[in-house]
Amino acid sequence: MSISSKDRGLRSLMIQRAMHAPIPRAALMAAALAFSATRGEAASAAAGASAVRADTKAQSQGQRPSLSCVAPSSQTRAASSGDPVEADTPGDGTRLFAASRPFSLVFTTRAPQSDTLNWQIRDTWNVVRASGSFNVAAGAISSTLSCTSTVTGYFAVSASLQAARGQLESRGTRPAGIATFGVLPDTAAALPAVRFPYQDLHRFGGQGTAYLAPGQHCCDGDGYRPVYTALGLTWANDNRNWYMEEPDKSGTFDPATKQLAPYLQRGDIMRLIQLDGIPKWASPTSTQTHSYAPTSLAQMKEYMAKVGTESNRVRSTYFPTQRDNYYQVTWEPDADGGLPWRDSDANFIAMYKAVWEGIHRTDAHAVVMGLTYSSVQGNVKWMRRLGPLGIGRYMDGMTVHGYYDIGTTPSHPPERATDPRNEGTVPGALAASMRALRHEMRQYLKPGAPLFVTETGISYDIGQSYGKSYPNADVLYAQAAVVARTHLILLGEGADMTYVFYLADMPDAAPGYGLFFELEHPKGAYGPTRISPKPAALAVAAMTRIVDGTNTLGPLKGLPNGIYAYAFRRLGGGKVVTALWTHDNDKWSSKSGFNAGQSAEYRLRVDARGTSGEVTALDMMGNASIVPYRDGVANLTLSPAPIYVVSNNADVFKDAVTTPEGYVVRDKAEPTPQAASGPARHATGAIAR
């Protein structure tokens, strides 16, 4: 339920794949009901204030976190052409800043006469965090304020001239009235850094690039830094597709001379190696295709063996602490999608066999993965069909895309439907679908086979479009909450790693998937050079800092209706992180307001009976507060925005969670041994995790 790969750092790929028709979700959305997103700012602000109180009811001792900006430190002449009022936060291009460190907020005014500029800064919940005013002279003037913030998260600046009025104009996909920036969380006090015995235990990746350094443009340079490292994303796609590497004839790919892209040579962003698609000369249709097996499986196997040779060299050279290489064989082969499989089931399995045997012939650390249908339910359906035919013999792990509904949107959150029969077929039943998927994995894959969710995104609501008045603060808050909740469910139900989709707003499929606004094109663009964050970006930055470096314990048992909670444990037997939130779909819609008046009380056991103490709670943006507990229980007030409770006593969670079926704690596993060849490996269980 997504579009095909939109931006893999290569212009040629962007052109070839971005033009594919949207996959099943897009067709369904066209027939679905459009939702209105119009509501008053006053209602949004009131609801936001309520959400803030619910999320941070127990405040940290000492001074409350704050954001402050001092009067302009300088006023200089600016370019004469431009809008009456502009605002920006210059820096490295991400518009993301470290907590407690100074940053600049620059206002440019073009007043017809001397005037006063009034400004405000609001947070994710649309609550005013700072405000002020200062005098400006007539003409084009730039005024620089020096700001610092100990509160972290997303912030929206608004400004107008007192006499001349006006507001900040829209920029690209960012609506009128705001300029945005973020303050990154620092969670080290509650969660000191963990040691990763293997680099591939990191749990978050992303799709999309942004070329932010001066002089860079799509798609030259490094599209991943500084934005991926700021967000805490450590996985990205890298292409070794046959149709890309040998487009005209066999034998042109040389594993000894193939060079890893410079932006991956730093070794801090790992590769998910893409293998989907075959070249025209190997195609039964004489065109490059994803829909059919090649005319010669032997040639395919030979090519894959060369890829394995190169990947093994790359891993040992640039990723010495990465245990395995991970390969994704197909990409959304949905029958009604952009890359549909039209061939037989037997040929699908035969193609996987050729890939598996070729890769494993030369890469002892290979993890060959599929099926990568667009929805979790789709992968359940096809494993039920192909598993009995033997495809699991040629899969060392599972890759899926994590879409779960007819439009994964703020109005279609992952909790909105349930599936009591655990069949994973009801739209919206993300948790049930994941449980059904893990059951199929246990039936047909080796014990401990990894599960990677290699794309999941939350767009704006069905029927909406970019515009000067859309999205508003309510929509942006809802998107952030649903992004975090969706990926927490995926990880909490047993995914080892999950990809966030998409970095910045893009021009096709449903609007709004981006974690960032794209500031130059009204409909978005691939590989942008100017971006600014949405609340979702800061929700991801907090989630990666809090949940990366953990193993999954699982969903808590016996939860009241409308309460959701997943427990994770830090690597090496460390602290427990419990993510919790509440959701009531009757009070969560674009018509009534996404954050209006929702809260729920919940008693979380964090320690043994008879004990008292304190735990740390982190809100959706990573702000910490202290929560006391008595008799081992902490009283929490939950909202639709997840909070994370950090506790020390893991023993109390042993019987309080349901371990996802077949899930194996991977940091205690042995390295992958040399693989045997052919189907016999299915019985030997060569991957021990």
* Other C-beta atoms lying within 10 Å of the C-beta of residue 350: 18
622 touches 185 (CB < 8 A): yes
Q: What angle do CA 270, 273, 277 make, to 5 degrees?
A: 155
pLDDT at 155: 98
Q: What angle do CA 259, 264, 270 make, to 5 degrees?
A: 120
1 touches 375 (CB < 8 A): yes
Distance between CA atoms of 533 and 182, rounded to whole angstroms? 7
| CATH domain 11-34+231-540 topology | TIM Barrel (3.20.20)
Q: What angle do CA 8, 14, 16 make, to 5 degrees?
A: 125
Q: Which of 431, 511, 502, 504 is nearest to 467 (CA)?
A: 511
Distance between CA atoms of 517 and 514, rounded to whole angstroms? 7
Question: Can you give 339-360 as a three-state secondary structure string?
Answer: CCCCCCHHHHHHHHHHHHHHHH
Distance between CA atoms of 624 and 542, rounded to whole angstroms? 11
* Other C-beta atoms lying within 10 Å of the C-beta of residue 644: 26
Distance between CA atoms of 283 and 287, rounded to whole angstroms? 6
Q: Which single residue is written with the structure tokens 């081992």?
A: 632
447 touches 496 (CB < 8 A): no
- Taking each helix axis from N to C terminus, what angle separates 473-492 and 430-444, rounded to the nearest 10 degrees? 30
Identify each DSSP E strand in 575-641 by its residue range. Answer: 576-582, 600-605, 613-618, 624-630, 633-638
Low-confidence ranges of the chain (pLDDT < 50): 1-61, 419-420, 422, 424, 670-689
Alpha helix segments (H runs only) across 493-586: 535-547
Question: Can you give 97-137 as a three-state secondary structure string?
Answer: EECCCCEEEEEEEEECCCEEEEEEEEECCCCEEEEEEEEEC
Distance between CA atoms of 123 and 152, rounded to whole angstroms? 9
Distance between CA atoms of 485 and 572, rounded to whole angstroms? 25
Task: For 660, list phi and psi in degrees, rounded to 5.
Answer: -55, 140
Residue 11's Cβ-count burial label (10 Å; 0-12, 13-18, 19+) is middle
Show Cβ contacts of residue 207 under 8 Å, excluding neighbours closer than 6 positions: 5, 6, 7, 236, 237, 455, 499, 500, 501, 502, 503
Helix (H) or strand (E) holding 425: none
293 touches 333 (CB < 8 A): no
Q: Which of 637, 620, 625 is nearest to 563 (CA)?
A: 637
pLDDT at 596: 63
- Strand partners for 628: 614
| CATH domain 66-184 topology | Immunoglobulin-like (2.60.40)
Residue 134's Cβ-count burial label (10 Å; 0-12, 13-18, 19+) is middle
DSSP label of 20: S
Q: Give me 666's structure tokens.
A: 């991977």
pLDDT at 428: 58
Domain ranges for the chain, please list them: 11-34+231-540, 66-184
User: What letters, b where the CB count within 10 A reaches 16 and e where it falls short, cover 89-109?
Assistant: beeebbbbbebeeebbbbbbb
